[in-house]
Each structure stands twice: as C-alpha cells, then as structure tokens.
A and B are shown apart, each in its own frame.
Chain A
Amino acid sequence: MTTLKQTTLHDAHVAAGARMVDFAGWSMPVHYGSQLEEHHGVRREAGMFDVSHMTVVDVTGPGAWDYLRYLLANDVDKLKENGRALYSCMLNDQGGVLDDLITYRRDQGYRVVVNAATRDKDLAWMQQVARDMPGAPQVSVQERDDLDMIAVQGPQARALCLPLLPEALRADVEALSPFRATEWQDWFVARTGYTGEDGFEVVLPKDQTRALWDALAAAGVHPTGLGARDTLRLEAGMNLYGTDMDEQVTPLESGLDWTVALKPADRDFMGRAALEKQQAEGATRRLVGLVLQGRGVLRGHMPVSAGEAGQGETTSGSFSPTLGVAIALARIPAGAGEQVQVEIRGKQVPARVVKPPFVRNGQALVEIH
C-alpha cells in the first residue's frame, strides 16, 4: 500500500471530524459530518474547500503565448488583459480530452490550474508539447508545489473572505469581476470556482494556509468536503474530468463546444484537425442534463434509452440537494428528443433532457416536473 499524500490542512480536517478518503493518491476530506448540510451551507451561506491537491503550473518565457495557443483548444488570445481567466480543454492529437483547466494571464506569463488526478500525465504532456511543437518556442513549464489553494464559495463567500486577505490585496480583490484574478507576492486570488456560486479561489504560500483556513472557520465559513463539492458541481452543470469526459471523447461530445475556438482558422492547436472533421461530419453523441421524473436516484453508468435515436448512458448522477430530485449528466445520441428512459436496477424510469446548469447562484434553472 502506498502512503497517501497529505495537504497542509490534513490535521485541521481530522480535528474538524472529517472522514478522510483516498482521492487520486491524496488523503482528502469527503465530509465533516453531513454532506447534505455542507452542500446547503455553500448554496445558502459560504463554504470552503481545501483544493491544495490541485496542480498549479506557471507557464512563462517569450514563447508562452504561442505555446498555449497550440496546447489548448480554447484560445489564450482571448485574454486581452492581465488577470483574465479562460476555461479550456487540453486535447490529444485525436481530439480526446486529456484534462480541463483554467488559464490565467499574469504580468509574468500564464498560470494554469489542472486536476490532481491527472497531474503526472498533464505535466509530462505539457513538457512534451513544449519540446516537440512547431517553431520550438522558448517556454518554461514549472509546477508550483510550494503553493496551496483554498476555494471559498457561496453567497456570503466574498464578504466573509475579503477582510481576511492581506491588506495589500483587498481593494483589488473587492473590485474583481467574475473570472478575473489579482495577486500580491505569492498570494493569487481569482473570482472563480466549481460550485455555481460566487466566491474566490485563493492560491497562497503554504506557511499561510492554516491561518487563513482557521480565520475563515472563525468567520463562519463551513468546511466542505469533496462529497458536497461533487453534488455542487453537478448541479452547476460542470463536468468532472475522468467521470464525464476522458481521452475517449472530444469537447464536442462533452457539452464544451463553447470552449473550442476554431476561429481564427489559422491557429493550429493539438486536436484541431480531429475536431474539424468531427464538426463537419456532425458529432453522433452529446452530453446533456437529465432530470428524473420517476422515483429513484441517478448514478453514473446507468443505461439511457432515447427510443429510435439509440442508447446512451449517464456519466455522473446524484440526488440534487437543492432541487430535491435526482439529476445526471448523460452522453446520449445526438438525435435524442426531450424524453428518455433511464434503467435503474432493471426498471425503466422516465427522465427529461435539459440543458445544464441545473442550479446557478442558489436558483433552480430547470423545471423539476
């Protein structure tokens, strides 16, 4: 058995009564007592997540712009100012999704935050592309394992977090628009997240992490585990890498058409040819939201029947604590209509096809019945 890696906050989680689980080789809190209460805590007040297991990578050098425009399916040229953020997939040559990530433009170059589970694969791929890409741009790809990350999310997140940040940052952070970031020394604060609520993701030096976590807790921000993180992101209609998408599917089959920048036509990027071909032929599958109309709970890998259009399956599903019904993301035939049947333990249960997100800023965005 290999030893699980621990974040700076491991002892704080255990002291708070967390049930710790193995997540991609890290010992992480799945909940601190009640996943449901933590979910509601984020939707109604504010919750915080230890996401220090995620990987921060700084991309610098005179060739960084050229490099990222080739590496990513979205176009970092859209980042017209420093501090702007861009969500993108990183694809292989066949258009399969290697990972999804956020790129921030900074004074010093770019910062990319990738998933924990894909860290080794991502870093190796990023180094390989830097070496092999046409034009061999001068670029440095540097993991920042000296930094931690805390996400603070919920309607009260900004107000509760702001006074606890270094004073030199506060005015800039208060003025941040959504999907923007600002920084001071090794503190980096972005108005981004993975819950569908307002809030910040705070990247900070490891020797400051415990103090911020404790101060947030004292201010009434609820420690929230990976369990609630998963139901929150599902309600927000955000894909989980490795569950809703992987190297076997393209962004066009993953509800992420909007993140693929095929214009300008002269920008070559990894996977471009495969995506153009798929777009021209028409993708045969698409990722949609499902709302269960009968009784039961949706989970991943349940068969979905879309009548004559064919078969698909759920990729992730759960009871939605905010909506009070079961919801799922599902990959189904492109020609499917609004009504499908999901097989739950041998029974066919009707479900309605919807366009995610299900919930945003605490409000239901889909009709329940």
Chain B
Amino acid sequence: MSHVPAELKYAKSHEWVRQESDGTLTVGISDHAQELLGDLVFVETPEEGATLDAGTACAVVESVKAASDVYAPVSGEVVAVNEQLGDSPELVNSDAYGEGWIFRVKPGDASELDALMDADAYNQHLEAEG
C-alpha cells in the first residue's frame, strides 16, 4: 500500500501539491507514481520563471524502464526547481513527498487548488485504478 499524506492535495495524474506558508505550492509525484515507475534515473524539471497551464505536461520523470510526463496540477509561474534531482533523481523514489519534490509554483488561480483531490479522494482514485 503506498503512502498518501493527509495534508497534501493530489491530481488524478498522480502529482501531489503542498501549500507553503509563503503562498507558493510545491509539486512532486506521489509515492504510488514512483513505485509504478521504478528506479528513477533522470528528471527534467521545468525552467525557473516558466509559466505553466494547469493540466499540461511540464516535467518528465524517467526510470530505467520508461519516461512519464508530469502535468502541472495548477497554473502559475515556476519560482523554484529541485536542482538536487540533476545528480540524484533517486530522491523521488526514496522520499517522494520530501527531498524528491520537483518544482515550486506561484499560483495564478487559487480555485485550481481547491479543485484537486484530498487524501481520501486520492486513495479512492487509487483503488478505482486498481
């Protein structure tokens, strides 16, 4: 059973979002997603300063097996990316919700965050996907 922290929001495409105290949002991929992908060997983060549209591909995570797109869960401007993933993509495997974060965004539209799933809804989504 994969780990789904209660305080985060989730997208159907398996990204998680954490609201920071400064109003920015940190984004990564869920424990379930990293488990499915297997050992990560490459992460392509978005560019700092890039403008993201919710639901569009903005980063790529690649395991030995396959490449998978990461979709922007909300719209906004990228204010930070996790540089550590350049040398240590495996952080996404070992600590998906912590050191494995991928980018931080300054949201444009607060209502997009509300539209994401909470932990209960995401758990149900995982069960439904089987």
B-contacting residues of A (Cβ < 8 Å)? 30-31, 34-37, 39, 227, 231, 295-297, 299, 318-319, 321, 326, 345
Q: Is B67 an interface residue (CB 8 A)?
A: yes
Residue of A nearest to B89 (CB): A319
Distance in Å: Cβ of A234 to nearest Cβ of chain B: 10
**B38 near A31: Cβ-Cβ < 8 Å:** yes
Distance in Å: Cβ of B99 to nearest Cβ of chain A: 18
Residue among B38, B44, B64, B66 making CB contact with A295, cutoff 8 Å:
B44
Q: Which residue, of B38, B64, B65, B66, has the highest number of chain A Cβ atoms within 10 A?
A: B64
Q: With a CB–CB cut-off of 8 A, which chain A residues contact B66?
A: 299
Q: Is B113 an interface residue (CB 8 A)?
A: no
**A319 near B64: Cβ-Cβ < 8 Å:** yes
Distance in Å: Cβ of B56 to nearest Cβ of chain A: 14
Q: With a CB–CB cut-off of 8 A, which chain B residues contact A345?
A: 60
Distance in Å: Cβ of A133 to nearest Cβ of chain B: 42
Q: With a CB–CB cut-off of 8 A, which chain B residues contact A36?
A: 39, 41, 64
Binary contact readout B14-57 vs A (1 if CB under 8 angstroms, 0 otherwise): 00000000000000000000000011011010000000000000
Could you tell me the distance between the alpha carbons of A296 and B45 in the complex, rounded to whole angstroms?
Answer: 11
The 4 closest A-B pairs by CB, nearest first: A319-B41, A36-B39, A297-B62, A297-B42
**A319 near B42: Cβ-Cβ < 8 Å:** yes
Q: With a CB–CB cut-off of 8 A, which chain B residues contact A297?
A: 41-42, 62, 67
Distance in Å: Cβ of B102 to nearest Cβ of chain A: 15
Residue of A nearest to B38 (CB): A35
Q: With a CB–CB cut-off of 8 A, which chain B residues contact A34?
A: 38-39
Chain B contact patch, size range = 10 to 19
Residue of B nearest to A324 (CB): B41
Q: With a CB–CB cut-off of 8 A, which chain A residues contact B38?
A: 31, 34-35, 227
User: What would 17 more interface pairs be, CB under 8 Å, given A319-B42, A319-B64, A321-B41?
Assistant: A31-B38, A34-B39, A35-B38, A35-B39, A35-B63, A36-B39, A37-B39, A39-B64, A227-B64, A296-B62, A297-B62, A299-B67, A318-B64, A319-B41, A321-B64, A326-B42, A345-B60
Q: With a CB–CB cut-off of 8 A, which chain A residues contact B41?
A: 36, 297, 319, 321
Q: Which of B55-112 contact A (CB under 8 A)?
A: 60, 62-67, 86
Could you tell me the distance between the alpha carbons of A326 and B62 in the complex, rounded to whole angstroms?
Answer: 11
Q: Which residue, of A30, A34, A297, A318, has the highest number of chain B Cβ atoms within 10 A?
A: A297
Distance in Å: Cβ of A106 to nearest Cβ of chain B: 38
Q: With a CB–CB cut-off of 8 A, which chain A residues contact B86?
A: 295
Residue of B nearest to A345 (CB): B60
Contact (A231, B44) CB under 8 Å given A34-B38, A35-B38: no
Residue pairs across A and B with Cβ atoms less than 8 A apart, 14 shown, are A35-B38, A35-B63, A35-B64, A36-B64, A37-B39, A295-B42, A295-B44, A296-B44, A296-B62, A297-B41, A297-B62, A299-B66, A319-B42, A319-B64
Q: With a CB–CB cut-off of 8 A, which chain B residues contact A30?
A: 65
Residue of A nearest to B65 (CB): A227
